[in-house]
Amino acid sequence: MQNSEIKTTCSYCGVGCGIIVTNDSKNGVEVKGDVNHPVNRGMLCSKGMNLHYVVNDTSDRILYPEMRWSKSHPKERVSWDDALERAAAVFSSIIKKHGPDSVGFYVSGQCLTEEYYLINKLVKGFLKTNNVDTNSRLCMSSAVVGYKKTFGEDIVPIAYDDIELADTFLITGANPAWCHPILFRRLEQHKEKNPKTKIIVIDPRRTDSAALADLHLQIIPGTDIILYHAIGKRLIEKGYIDNDFIKNHTENFNLYKDLVLSSSFEKASKLCGVSVNDIKLAADMIGKAKGFISLWAMGLNQSAIGVDKNTALLNLSLVTGQVGKPGSGPFSLTGQPNAMGGREVGGMANLLAVHKELNNPMHRKEVADFWGVNEISEKPGLTATEMFDALESGKMKAIWIICTNPLVSLPDSRRVEKALQNAKFVVVQDISHNADTSKFADLLLPAAGWLEKEGTMTNSERRISYLPKGVNAPGEALSDVEILIRFAQKMNFNGFNFNTTEEVYKEYCMMTKDTKMDISFLNYNRLKNEGTFQWPVPDYGHPGTPRLFTDKKFYTPSQKAIFNIPTAIENTSEQPNSQYPFILTTGRIRDQWHTMTKTGKVSRLMTHIPSPMLEINPIDAFKSGINAGDIVVVTSKNGTVRVKAKITDSIREGVVFLPMHWGKQLENDLNRTNNLTNTLVDPTSKEPDFKFTTVSIEKYVKA
């Protein structure tokens, strides 16, 4: 590294911690937390602390483009020119023969904003299809729709600094102690200093987050809306509501009131598996709060009724008037470091850049004019799971996968495997050979990783940070920006004459001008010299905007927030039955990230939980004849997993848990959790139902 010290941002979760990188004594780099960074104030979690291993160890990296001329040939080394000419020729020929919707791009919340922007411009503007979606579809698309339905815009209204101003927290469908550790550490420190701070956790598992809670509601999976409505009922009945806010700044309250008052605590208690007393206690804590923050993540979003779960939760902030005030508001947590940046540039099949809508003809025209193209197709693109369905059925012929490992991370892995086998042409653009998906690549493109390229990211609280390049990428690996520009030029597209990543950033920033997320005055210099900013930043001297809706004007036509009435209250997933009596819920563990392509190669991160284990309640284990450490076979309609059993009363009876990270790292793929998961998605957000698959469990007996 040429500079003796570089300030950057962690590339793992959406917390967005500041990191200082320096040279180590062995020609590599080392990392430490940035004490002056507003997010983490010097702290790093186990993953962030070990990020330098990923940079220093290049043994697994893809070093040059590899290509195979047909499915029966092995891949061979080719030049960048040959690789991208072939990609351009194949994409052009498929589009000519089968139309633009026969190709698609599947990308990642780990892409930097400039990369995300370019991909969308390339696909939606020039390839003339909206088939570009992201693995962020798997983690937060239900929250996006929930915000839009409630506030009129996909907006996270608050900032981490609100944590220290709040006195009551509802953590629901999230385990930030493991998945957003530094955010959780701030919450812990706040409670240490202010012991009267109340924390309620709703989770079928007694997680490390629940261990800090004053009240843990160990809910039956899928019953969240029933519980939120029962809490809403108590809030209204006890008068813990903000009548002024409701009257002046919301719509639909009477519908909401009638709905929740018609519910019964006893019925809610029975369906949710928590006591009436605890429901009322939770409501009373929320009702008495001076500052109330709800925090949630995939436990809510990854559901067949994920959008309704989101809006039902947001209703609790509306009914108590806890929005737009210091220390209050709803706060969805993004899993990936730049899931938020992806939302900003329209990195999903149904979105356009700067929060413009694909289904709005005026918005399509504005974007088309900005990019200098005739039009943007009005046909919504295929979402993550739909793309792989289309590959399997043959409707889609080619896919370009960037920085993600769908074979392990999408639901029903067998279906994904068939889809990749069936595809005519698969491009995988990634940093390492570790992603199982790369085995299916007809063209494998080596990309630069964290610290090897520059760009920007936005964390969960809308904070934009600049990530500088510190070291050269190994071999012939190129930045994703450069790969995309070179491909666009091979396709003879105008509008990709960028010489630097900064030029891409500038173009995107101009697009934000006069929008709600205006960053047209936030240039690289400010980000480099002054640090991070929360959007909007609508002026040269503007310090950024930590908190939105302080004027109580929302982005709906009436400027009022909307109480949404769910279309589904009870879970629409397939319910347990005699063949599949258990509910499988999947999730993340503390020291692993996604499909372990990076964290899995860091030996000290493997010591925490070295192999996947099925968490099962002692009563269920006893009934099934399973002892601790036994190998068990978990079976669903879709497939099988064989793992060790971990008997623990931290999970409720009838529910089992598997971490989602493992793929094919062991001798076979029987440790791949998504062999099991069901293919349901939320009807609006299209986010998969990862938290609810019915399974059977039996002890493995060697044949």
- The footprint of ligand SF4 (CB under 6 A) covers 10, 12-13, 15-17, 40, 44-45, 47-48, 180-182
Of the two residues 182 and 419, which places its CB atom closer to ligand SF4 in the complex? 182
CA angle, residues 436, 139, 52, in degrees to nearest 5: 60
Q: State how beta strands 356-357 and 351-352 pair.
A: antiparallel
How deeply is 495 buried, as exposed, middle or buried, from its count of CB atoms within 10 A (0-12, 13-18, 19+)? middle
Minimum CB separation of residue 174 from ligand SF4 in Å reads: 13
Of the two residues 13 and 473, which places its CB atom closer to ligand SF4 in the complex? 13
- Sign of the alpha-carbon torsion through 523, 376, 362, 334: negative
Token pair of 455, please?
A: 């760009």
Instruction: Give the residue carrying structure tokens 């879709």.
Output: 638
**How far apart (Å, rounded) are the C-alpha atoms in residues 392 and 562?**
40
Instruction: Give the residue carrying structure tokens 């400027």.
Output: 559
| Residue whose C-alpha is closest to residue 450's, from 25, 56, 44 | 56
Asked if the peptide bond before residue 610 counts as cis, ω within 30 degrees of 0, the response is: no
CA angle, residues 280, 284, 285, in degrees to nearest 5: 120
Minimum CB separation of residue 532 from ligand SF4 in Å reads: 13
Of the two residues 44 and 339, which places its CB atom closer to ligand SF4 in the complex? 44
Of the two residues 341 and 346, which places its CB atom closer to ligand SF4 in the complex? 341
- How far lies 101's CA from each of 95, 348, 378, in Å? 8, 15, 12
Minimum CB separation of residue 400 from ligand SF4 in Å reads: 27
- How far lies 334's CA from each of 12, 120, 141, 298, 503, in Å? 11, 20, 10, 9, 27
**How far apart (Å, rounded) are the C-alpha atoms in residues 356 and 572?**
31
Of the two residues 178 and 549, which places its CB atom closer to ligand SF4 in the complex? 178
3-state SS, residue 281: helix
Number of Cβ within a 10 Å radius of residue 536: 20
Of the two residues 10 and 402, which places its CB atom closer to ligand SF4 in the complex? 10
Minimum CB separation of residue 204 from ligand SF4 in Å reads: 24
Minimum CB separation of residue 601 from ligand SF4 in Å reads: 16
Of the two residues 177 and 485, which places its CB atom closer to ligand SF4 in the complex? 177
Minimum CB separation of residue 591 from ligand SF4 in Å reads: 10
Number of residues that this document lists for the chain: 703
Of the two residues 44 and 323, which places its CB atom closer to ligand SF4 in the complex? 44
Of the two residues 40 and 377, which places its CB atom closer to ligand SF4 in the complex? 40
With a CB cutoff of 8 Å and minimum separation 6, the contacts of 6 are 20, 21, 22, 451, 468, 470
Minimum CB separation of residue 182 from ligand SF4 in Å reads: 4
Of the two residues 104 and 335, which places its CB atom closer to ligand SF4 in the complex? 335
Minimum CB separation of residue 337 from ligand SF4 in Å reads: 7
Minimum CB separation of residue 48 from ligand SF4 in Å reads: 2
With a CB cutoff of 8 Å and minimum separation 6, the contacts of 41 are 33, 35
Of the two residues 441 and 605, which places its CB atom closer to ligand SF4 in the complex? 605
| Residue whose C-alpha is closest to residue 572's, from 88, 221, 252 | 221
**How far apart (Å, rounded) are the C-alpha atoms in residues 472 and 365?**
40
Minimum CB separation of residue 12 from ligand SF4 in Å reads: 3
Of the two residues 182 and 384, which places its CB atom closer to ligand SF4 in the complex? 182
Residue nearest to ligand SF4 (CB): 48
3-state SS, residue 622: helix
CA angle, residues 576, 580, 586, in degrees to nearest 5: 80
Minimum CB separation of residue 600 from ligand SF4 in Å reads: 15
Token pair of 145, please?
A: 């729709």
Minimum CB separation of residue 530 from ligand SF4 in Å reads: 21
